[in-house]
Amino acid sequence: MFVAPPCGERRRHRRKEHKPPVSQHSCVYNQRVKMADTSSSNPQSLGFTEKLKSWLSWSWTYVCAVWFAMVLTMIYVLRSPLKLQETVTAASVFLNTLTPKFYVALTGTSSLISGLILIFEWWYFRKYGTSFIEQVSVSHLRPLLGGVENSSSSGGLFSPVNGSAEPRPSVSECKVWRNPLNLFRGAEYNRYTWVTGKEPLTYYDMNLSAQDHQTFFSVDTQQLRPEDAGQCVVMQKAWRERNPQARIRAAYQAIELNPDCAAAYVLLAEEEATTITEAERLFKQALKSAGRDTNLLVYIKRRLAMCARKLGRIKEAVKMMRDLMKEFPLLGMLNIHENLLESLLELQAYADVQAVLAKYDDISLPKSATICYTSALLKARAVSDKFSPEAASRRGLSTAEMNAVEAIHRAVEFNPHVPKYLLEMKSLILPPEHILKRGDSEAVAYAFFHLQHWKRAEGALNLLHCTWEGTFRIIPYPLEKGHLFYPYPGCTETADRELLPSFHEVSVYPKKELPFFILFTAGLCSFTAMLAMLTHHFPELMGVFAKAFFSTLFAPLGFFADKIEGFMLTRI
């Protein structure tokens, strides 16, 4: 593995080149900030509370020590009235009279209880990403024992609700973007369902698309003629329908009201057309009826360009995309340049690809996996055909190879899920209609369309295979501090599970380690189960072993007790 050294001045200039996208639900964060400001508006009460907490934390250790010393003193003073020695002797006699069945039941019950705790801990860890016992200890017991409350714990049943904890991004605060290369439902997603019987889209993803269509194609019905207002109302209901057949029927109803209803033809092209050719015909019909509606024009022309790309008319698709970007230069948030990059890579027009990257791979612009990995592909392609790990280990990396490795590290830091799909270490699925930047959903969408371009560049995947894991040594704590980008967001796993189908194993980064209490309960369950089995099959041998174990365990205590008693008698 090769790790690129620090980039000097360039690293400092690119430190914050990626700005995390603004949340769709930023009002949630603003409300939390206001609550925090309100809670901190009374400094006198907060000062008294903090002083009381600090005093309790300071005195707790000493109080425990004094209490423990007093308990030991009381036991020693009252040893004769309480008849402690006779009680211990009677207890040992009672334990010797117990049969092996009792110990089998005891160890079996312990194994059952620890097994139930293990199952609950595992479920809680898979759901919330932390241990329940650890969560309770950190949230409730640690502050009482003088520790610092962990404000970075996320999720769980005991997540902080006041303004004192640092807010972490939740699912609602993770910006979800429309996939620029999303497939056609009727011609592609539905065909997958017919063949495999699996649903490639989640309800959450389709609901987001319905909201997008309602917003994108919304029209003020008060300014329209009655017949036009009627078809707009029908189409608004059509986008909200959950049943595909109900949406299609509503589209035909809108066409009956107005044969030039462009939005209805768009819906039919997306959902009823079973081939790309049929979808293209319906989009052309929609383009004739679109009029001067900018949203409709942009959407339809983009989908027509994608139809041309899928039907092999790549140069025509490139021209349509360039014309669209010139005609509507202010609609950069639609990421039409990502469609253009993919088509140019298919043409192997690498100079044109570099020209597009020079415009959109800028410090002030938000990044994407397409931007970062396409830049890495171009730099890797320049050296990958002659790259050899053995030769590079002997002579070191050349300047061009170093640039390629740095570009790969940059891309992997932005989205660490992509390499496993490009290297075919994980199976691909159909991309969702929406993606989460830096998440597994974006990695699936990128690899689905760009894997062929990496395979076409000789040696590029080999260079990626040799260098991509070196990124993780540069950023050992990705959730706390990044190298070229901001720290990796902690909300991607939960959001990706909403966007990707249930049969897909979501990629998690950074990989979560099993909490100590899960390992502890697993070991306890296994150990007690083994003791129960051995006691059942070898009762006499286990009895001898238990007596030897406890006598050895309590021998130091008896020794110290005799020494203390002798010392006290000599003092008296």
**Which tens digit of pLDDT belongs to each residue from 324-380?**
999 988 777 789 999 999 999 999 999 999 999 999 988 777 889 999 999 999 999
The tokens describing 460, both together, are 């590029």
Whether residue 172 is predicted with pLDDT greater than 90 in this model: the reply is no
**Mean pLDDT in residue range 55-59:** 66
Residue that has been written with the tokens 């192997």 in this structure: 348
Whether residue 221 is predicted with pLDDT greater than 70 in this model: the reply is no
Residue that has been written with the tokens 């039907």 in this structure: 311
Q: What local confidence, expressed as pLDDT, does residue 149 receive?
A: 44
Whether residue 463 is predicted with pLDDT greater than 80 in this model: the reply is yes
Any idea which of 77-81, 303-307, 317-321, 394-398 has the lowest mean pLDDT? 77-81
Work out the percent of the chain whose per-residue pLDDT is above 90: 36
Whether residue 303 is predicted with pLDDT greater than 80 in this model: the reply is yes
**Cβ–Cβ < 8 Å for 370, 447:** no
For the chain, give the mean pLDDT: 78
538: left (phi over 0), alpha (psi -120 to 50) or beta: beta
**Mean pLDDT in residue range 540-567:** 74
Using 50, 70 and 90 to split pLDDT, how confident is the model at 305? very high
Dihedral of the CA atoms 189, 191, 195, 198 (nearest 10)?
20
Q: 161 exposed, middle or buried (CB, 10 Å; 0-12, 13-18, 19+)?
A: exposed
Using 50, 70 and 90 to split pLDDT, how confident is the model at 10? very low
Using 50, 70 and 90 to split pLDDT, how confident is the model at 19? very low
**Mean pLDDT in residue range 96-111:** 76
**Cβ–Cβ < 8 Å for 301, 291:** no
157 three-class SS: coil
Whether residue 448 is predicted with pLDDT greater than 90 in this model: the reply is yes
Using 50, 70 and 90 to split pLDDT, how confident is the model at 414? very high
Q: What local confidence, expressed as pLDDT, does residue 314 receive?
A: 96
Whether residue 87 is predicted with pLDDT greater than 50 in this model: the reply is yes
Whether residue 252 is predicted with pLDDT greater than 80 in this model: the reply is yes
**Residue 410 has what DSSP assignment?**
H
**Structural Rg of the chain based on CA atoms:** 33
Domain boundaries, the chain: 360-512, 515-543
Q: What local confidence, expressed as pLDDT, does residue 82 receive?
A: 64
